[in-house]
DNA sequence: ATTTAAAATGACTTGGTAGTCACATTCGTT
DNA sequence: AACGAATGTGACTACCAAGTCATTTTAAAT
């Protein structure tokens, strides 16, 4: 299915449609998201959206690529930069993630859902793909750091990468929990997913980094 | 809705029904799980299941309580025991979780789904409840350990509790990832969720614990 | 103004769901 | 055996979903 017809649309209409789709898929998982509801809200015919994207599944893929592209744009420079101090770099990765959320709350909310999507029959495969990519990237960075002697050699990179991955996907849950934020409500109202100050973010990052760096155990004096 | 009629059934039939329900809800999330499919597989009338449990939602709640009860049974002694060495205790908590899985793979697989359920309108509330309970338990243990001087005082218990919670719910994902296990396939075939040796489990626990205990940073010699 | 191609439309099909309820069957008690 | 209560049944309702497609509308080209 080509999205030729869609791209012939006036850019403004394209954006309206995209926004509404993101909203629907940010508020519901794949299965519960309804194309019928999207077209009703947009006031366009049902046939149109299928003309533009072919099927619900292809629409979903389109949105993943679209949001992924935006995310890449924001974090590209950061990902390419040399890693001097690993933990400082790691903090930066986080804060970029949070900046992306502040800039594109809808895409961020959508990706939050994608990562947690568990609809095996239909779309689990895309999710696994993107997970593997992120995972392997983390692994490669950690291996490099281990070679440089920055990381203990008696723990498996696998386990470590997993902790990082978990922390990475879990940071939003943590913020939601601590600051009692209701993502869905904010998405509904077109607000940013959460409102935290730069300070609060840094505090959080310092804590997480410190735990991972030196452990939680009280040092003997 | 009372489950009186259900409990009047021969125990064997009760168990058959419960097993099939767990299977359905372990293989699908709340929304995609189908009562129609359950009754078809059981070869009983649709009306019966509604007579037993009232509604899909109440059936779901019943299953949560049922599996939760079983889990409690397995881990009760462990949870009540004095915490001598925290990290050893923590390892025990994990291994009990894994033992529960080996003993009751179906319930374990079901609870895996419950924790990840994101169907806000219907059942998210139960999930939040159980999450808060686990979370607060972890927090209380950590606070106690901090008072005993076993844990650094310069990191927030909140953040730490979150890492533990994440690790707790994530350990199955990790095992699935590392050992390339397909939970769903195993559930379908009535097998345990995964087959790992005691050794492999201990290795894993040692790694995770070690990272959390002393951090990932290479110590200066 | 006419022709033609592209785009928009929404009633319709197909297939799924949870839940209902009038009726049939079974079971325990007198 | 007869009665009455408890239990089992499955066709049925009401609903909503994705996707289709003959028809209409719009826009562009001649």
Q: In angstroms, how far is CA A96 from the centroid of its own chain?
A: 11
Short-list A118, A138, A136, CA closest to A127: A118
Chain A: residue whose CA lies nearest to B135: A177
The answer to whether B8 CB sits below 7 Å from nucleic acid chain C is no
In terms of C-beta density within 10 A (0-12 exposed, 13-18 middle, 19 or more buried), how is residue B86 classed? buried
Which H/E stretch holds residue A13? helix A11-27
DSSP B151: B
What are φ and ψ of residue A151, in 5° steps? -125, 140
Give the pLDDT band of residue B220 (cuts 50, 70, 90). Answer: low
pLDDT higher than threshold 80 for residue A11? yes
Instruction: State the number of CA atoms in the 13 A half-sphere of A147 facing the CB.
Output: 6
Short-list B219, B134, B156, B22, CA closest to A204: B156
User: What is the distance in angstroms between the Cα of B68 and the nearest Cα belonging to chain A?
Assistant: 22
From the CA of A18 to the C1' of C4: give the distance in Å: 31
CB A151 within 8 A of CB B216: yes
pLDDT higher than threshold 90 for residue A47? yes
Inter-axis angle of helices A56-80 and A105-116, nearest 10: 110
DSSP A216: S
The answer to whether B184 CB sits below 7 Å from nucleic acid chain D is no
Mean pLDDT of B161-178: 84
Q: In angstroms, how far is CA B168 from the centroid of its own chain?
A: 9
From the CA of A23 to the C1' of C26: give the distance in Å: 54
Give the pLDDT band of residue A64 (cuts 50, 70, 90). Answer: very high
DSSP A154: S
The share of chain B scoring above pLDDT 90, in percent, equals: 43
Give the pLDDT band of residue A76 (cuts 50, 70, 90). Answer: confident
B31 vs A contacts (CB less than 8 Å) = 29, 31-32
B147 vs B170, more confident: B147
Q: What is the pLDDT of residue A4?
A: 84
Short-list A174, A107, A181, CA closest to B158: A174
Give the pLDDT band of residue A177 (cuts 50, 70, 90). Answer: confident
Per-residue burial over B160-169, b if 16 or more Cβ lie within 10 Å, else e, is bbbbbbbbbb
B219 vs B101, more confident: B101
What A123-132 contacts at long range (C-beta under 8 Å, 24+ apart), as own/partner pairs, is A123/A30, A123/A57, A123/A60, A126/A60, A126/A61, A126/A64, A130/A64, A130/A68, A131/A165
């Amino acid at each position: 299915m080509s999205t030729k017809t869609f791209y012939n649309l006036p850019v403004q209409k394209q954006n309206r449609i995209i926004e509404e789709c993101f909203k629907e898929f940010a508020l519901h998982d794949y299965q519960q998201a309804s194309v019928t509801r999207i077209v009703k809200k947009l006031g366009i015919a049902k046939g149109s959206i299928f003309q533009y994207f072919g099927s619900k599944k292809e629409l979903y893929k389109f949105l993943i690529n679209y949001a992924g592209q935006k995310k890449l744009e924001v974090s590209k420079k950061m990902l390419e930069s040399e890693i001097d101090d690993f933990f400082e770099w790691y903090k930066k990765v986080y804060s970029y993630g949070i900046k992306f959320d502040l800039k594109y709350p809808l895409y961020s909310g959508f990706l939050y859902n994608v990562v947690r999507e568990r609809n095996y029959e239909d779309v689990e495969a895309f999710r696994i793909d993107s997970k593997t990519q992120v995972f392997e990237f983390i692994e490669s960075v950690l291996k490099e750091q281990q070679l440089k002697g920055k990381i203990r050699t008696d723990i498996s990179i696998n386990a470590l990468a997993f902790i990082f991955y978990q922390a990475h996907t879990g940071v939003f849950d943590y913020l939601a929990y601590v600051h009692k934020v209701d993502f869905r409500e904010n998405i509904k109202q077109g607000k940013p997913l959460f409102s935290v100050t730069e300070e609060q973010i840094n505090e959080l990052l310092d804590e997480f980094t410190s735990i991972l760096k030196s452990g939680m155990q009280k040092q003997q004096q």
